[in-house]
Amino acid sequence: MTHPGLAEITERLTRHGFRLHRSWPRGPERLLLDLQPTDGGEPIAGQWFATPQRAAAVAAATPGATMIGEFVLQPGGADRRLPTVAARLAVAGTRLIGHRPERRAVIREPDGSFTKFVRPDRWSRLLATARLAEALPLATPRLLAADPTAASITAAALPGRTLTDLLSDSAAVDACRAAGRTLAALHRIDPRSAAFRDLAEHDLRAEQAVTDTWLRQAREHRAPLRPIDGVTGTSSPEPVEGRARSHPPAPSNFGAPGRHRRSQPAAPVDPSPALVDGTDALNNSVTELSPHPPGSATELPPHPANPATELPPHPANPATELPPHPANPAELTLIHRDLHDGQLLIDDDGRAGLLDFDLLAIGDPALDLANLITHLELRAAQGLLSDPVPLVATVLAGYDPTPAITSRLPTYRALTHQRLAAVYAFRPTSSQT
């Protein structure tokens, strides 16, 4: 049976009065949706199913959801897998920042903190990674509370503006230098510490598998692939989870851990913003987090100084096969894995903080650096800055990569170009950072 492609699904949504902002594939017969009513109403989450029967079953099992054709509409945080989100939004002063149906949601609390909700089977991992991030010798979100009943964690907001917001500002150069320095500091932390023993290892093969999954799903949904220099929308890349376009931008803050084994190349990486916020209004089942034991993050050894070399251009064909170019095991570090300009906050003193550690892993530091660089190139294609070259050079100057890391950047840049081409294929009308 042939299912409609993304273009036809988008057209059907238009006929129903919705503009598709972005979508996430969950196999060939399902899409998670971020929708904007064409009449200018509040953004709404939803799902598309290949068969109306399945859509009807999901709608019937989701309190507050409605169904139109093969689409399930989930306003106000309605979600059968995240049942506490809608109830939390009933509290005065709360605001839904992002909602990926049946996966995660982020709420801004009345006190300015953020709460992230996940499925119950993902909560322990989310909490563990958030605690690791909080203990890093960097500016990261401070955990305020964790609620196992609601499968949520709350964290304080980090001060500052996102690097995205500063790209066209006079402070862009200093902000990019600070971003490079902060990323280098993350990579200098010794990954052999006992605190990180359960983190997954994410190598070049795993990153290729993630990219291949995105490309395959783009083909399955007949989503048109374009090089990122042809991308016209300006939503944040995979998404910063606490900065979902559906609602006013608001940086968010956390992540979730893995096991110290090779990461599994299954579903595509969802970059999403980590979230946080504690508030006295949280119900009594919320447990206060005890301070993270000191000493879990080791003192940073000095990073060898090396001039940043000029980067060769990325492959013109975003689907070219990549040559194997693995890092030496001794070069593996802590890596963010979802680093882009929306995950970096620059405070009033010019220091950079990091958000969203959901994908924290042990891997090649060139992956993070290439991801950030390629997103700056994407921002230029989106019209958020005129020329990425000076800012890329400034990031590299702040980071000061070794020759070995620099030599691996082209491979990871090519992978990032491929992945973003597929990610943005599912965002036909995105229009806000």
CATH class of 161-268+294-425: alpha beta
pLDDT for position 327? 73
pLDDT for position 326? 72
Q: Which whole-number Å values give the CA distances from 400 to 337, 353, 355, in the listed order?
A: 19, 18, 22
pLDDT for position 75? 97
Each domain of the chain, given as residue ranges in start order, spans: 1-80, 161-268+294-425
Give the span between the Cα atoms of 25 and 62, in whole angstroms.
Answer: 20
pLDDT mean by block of 10 residues, the chain; 433 residues: 91 96 97 96 96 96 97 98 97 97 98 98 96 97 98 97 96 98 98 94 95 97 85 44 36 38 35 28 28 33 35 43 66 96 97 97 97 96 93 98 95 96 88 39
pLDDT for position 285? 27
- Name the one residue in this structure whose structure tokens are 């890329």: 392
Give the span between the Cα atoms of 269 and 206, in whole angstroms.
Answer: 11
Q: With helix as H, strand as E and coil as C, how does the chain read?
A: CCCCCHHHHHHHHHHCCEEEEEEEECCCCEEEEEEEECCCCCCEEEEEECCHHHHHHHHHCCCCCEEECCEEEEHHHCCCCCCHHHHHHCCCCCEEEEEECCCEEEEECCCCCEEEEECHHHHHHHHHHHHHHHHCCCCCCCEEEEECCCCEEEECCCCCEEHHHHCCCCCHHHHHHHHHHHHHHHHHCCCCCHHHCCCCEECHHHHHHHHHHHHHHHHHCCCCCCCHHHCCCCCCCCCCHHHCCCCCCCCCCCCCCCCCCECCCCCCCCCCCCCCCCCCCCCCCCEECCCCCCCCCCCCCCCCCCCCCCCCCCCCCCCCCCCCCCCCHHHCEEECCCCCHHHEEECCCCCEEECCCCCCEEECHHHHHHHHHHHHHHHHHCCCCCCHHHHHHHHHHHHCCCHHHHHHHHHHHHHHHHHHHHHHHCCCCCCCC
Q: Work out the end-to-end distance of the chain between its first and last CA atoms, rounded to an integer number of angstroms.
A: 37
pLDDT for position 323? 56
pTM of the predicted model, to two decimals? 0.80
pLDDT for position 299? 33
